[in-house]
Amino acid sequence: MNKIIFIFFYTFLLNTVLFAQNLTSVSGYSNPIISGFHPDPSICRVGDSYYLVTSSFEFFPGIPIYESKDLINWKQIGHCLTRNSQVDLSKTGIWSGVWAPTIRFNQGVFYMITTNVTHGGNFYVTATNPAGPWSDPIFIDRDMFDPSLFFDTDGKVYYTRRGQKGIVQSEIDIKTGKLVNPLKVISNGYLSPDTEGPHLYKIGEWYYLMTAEGGTRALHMVNIGRSKSPWGPFEKCINNPILAQHHNYSLIRSAGHGDLIEAKDGSWWMVFLATRHYNYDATSFLGRETFLAPVKWVDGWPTIDESVVNNLYINSPILPTQAMASDSNRDEFNKTQLGLQWNFLRNPSDESWSLQKDTGKLNLFGNSYNLSDIASPAFIGRRQQHIDFEAETYFTFNPTKPNEEAGVTMFLNFQQHYDFAVTIRNNTRTLIIRKTIGDIVAEQVAIPIKQQSIYLKIKGDKDYYTFSYSPDGEKFIIAGKGNPQFLGPEISSAWTGVYIALYATGNGAKNRNVARFDFFNYEPLASPFSK
């Protein structure tokens, strides 16, 4: 009997150990690695740290920069473009601003190269500390976009970008930004003449030219070729596209515009953009987000398993995870500077906002511009990063004229936004919900209110934004709802994602009637799409 008990116990213990070992051998991560509007990711590694930048379009400061130790957990450490002397975003509309950055590191210096489509063209800035400050821009040329830099082992530096007739390249004097030789076409595209987002790498004895092709919607993809010369000709990979999701019934679409990175353990990875959709007809109102794919090399070519663009959870060995301390989702506005999560709409006017540190308030002063102007209204917003979320603020505002208005907006661009605000209607302080979709503007809710201070709450899910208010922060009353699908960038061919913003406006007249915000709280809610 004792022998039987021993055998049973030993078998149980052995199975338990094997089960535990099996659990620890299974690893993986969830995409996106940086959620919400974070398109066109580019990445570099310095020692055991990784740095990543994404496009910012008409929002200021420009080009957010993130740091990670494991490629999975990221923390924003700054922006590359924080001064008006670096970036002019005046009159920047839906399809312009700053996009498609590339970040590289060489001999102790970080380089971020990008395009200001509206003002100045292609330029780069430098820093010795990726958190900043970054230098004033060195402009190169104005034609086309998606510039990249490659530092070769022989000391030469190459400037590569989209051109009128394909991908063009020149050697560049990295100190001055002057081109050493005329731009030369080095690729007309591997599978599509609509080719952009080039990155040049030297891996072993080969130069690889990786591009984004097919446009940044349903036909987006990543292709690659190789050559023994940085000038080509580039042999096409027979497995192109190496990354794509051309089945529009998938939860993940628009996969493309990638950048390769070798991790500190010798493994290879690609960061790329993609969009999430909860069903066949859903728009991508969160915008294009940053995803991560493990890369394997087969016969000298990078390969990516198709499951990466079919599933949000990737069952793959990963680097040892190291959590990054993140900023709180709650902002009491009691510091001397705004948190890194906040953006202005284009270059802000110093007269449109202030932080009142002693009392912990954010003051917004409505100027003559409103949210439908291609200008700089009093606007401070953060990205919507989760399909399911809840956001709340408490503010004081005492309008005296019908043009005076302040509140919260779910904002995609000047043609698509839902505004939840306090103003004057019929000589009475009134809470309104206004929806702007293209040239259709509808003020659907007008609720008279007595109090000068009020709590506003917006709860989002895949079907609705629900707008609620409360005089005391305890009992909230639903004022109305809005369909997030109409804030999808596909409707206006925009390239950004929804922001949740605090704003004030004089709607055509300068207004020093201040809106004082006590706090802003943003909380993701658990759901299959809560990442």
Side-chain-facing half-sphere of 361: CA atoms under 13 Å: 15
The arithmetic mean of pLDDT across residues 6-15, rounded, is 34
Query: Distance between CA 412 and CA 402 in Å, rounded?
Result: 25
528 has pLDDT over 60: no
Pair 71, 161 in one domain: yes
Pairing of strands 440-448, 428-437: antiparallel
Q: List active site positions.
A: 40, 196
The residue among 1 and 52 whose pLDDT is bigger is: 52
Count the domains in the chain: 2
- Whether 511 is in a domain gets the answer yes
**Whole-number percent of the chain with pLDDT over 90:** 87
- The SS3 assignment for 337 reads coil
Pair 385, 433 in one domain: yes
Q: How confident is the model at residue 529 (pLDDT cuts 50, 70, 90)?
A: low
- Whether 30 is in a domain gets the answer no
Domain residue limits at 496: 330-524
Pair 441, 387 in one domain: yes
Pair 268, 357 in one domain: no
| C-beta of residue 65 within 8 angstroms of C-beta of residue 111 | no
Pair 300, 386 in one domain: no
- Whether 99 is in a domain gets the answer yes
* Count of beta carbons in the 10 Å neighbourhood of residue 440: 9
Pair 115, 209 in one domain: yes
Query: Distance between CA 179 and CA 158 in Å, rounded?
Result: 9
Pair 376, 435 in one domain: yes
Query: Distance between CA 410 and CA 498 in Å, rounded?
Result: 6
Q: What is the DSSP letter of 374?
A: S
Domain CATH number, residue 155:
2.115.10.20
Query: Distance between CA 177 and CA 518 in Å, rounded?
Result: 46
**Whole-number percent of the chain with pLDDT over 70:** 93
Query: Distance between CA 114 and CA 315 in Å, rounded?
Result: 33
pTM beyond 0.85: yes
- Whether 4 is in a domain gets the answer no
Q: What per-residue confidence (pLDDT) applies to 25?
A: 36
Say which range, 9-13, 131-135, 143-147, 486-490, has the weakest mean pLDDT. 9-13
- Phi, psi values for residue 4, rounded to 5°: -65, -45
248 has pLDDT over 90: no
- Tell me the per-residue pLDDT of 467-505, one tens digit each, with 9 for 90 and over: 999 999 999 999 999 999 999 999 998 999 999 999 999
Run of H or E including 19: helix 2-25
Query: Distance between CA 98 and CA 124 in Å, rounded?
Result: 12
Pair 120, 156 in one domain: yes
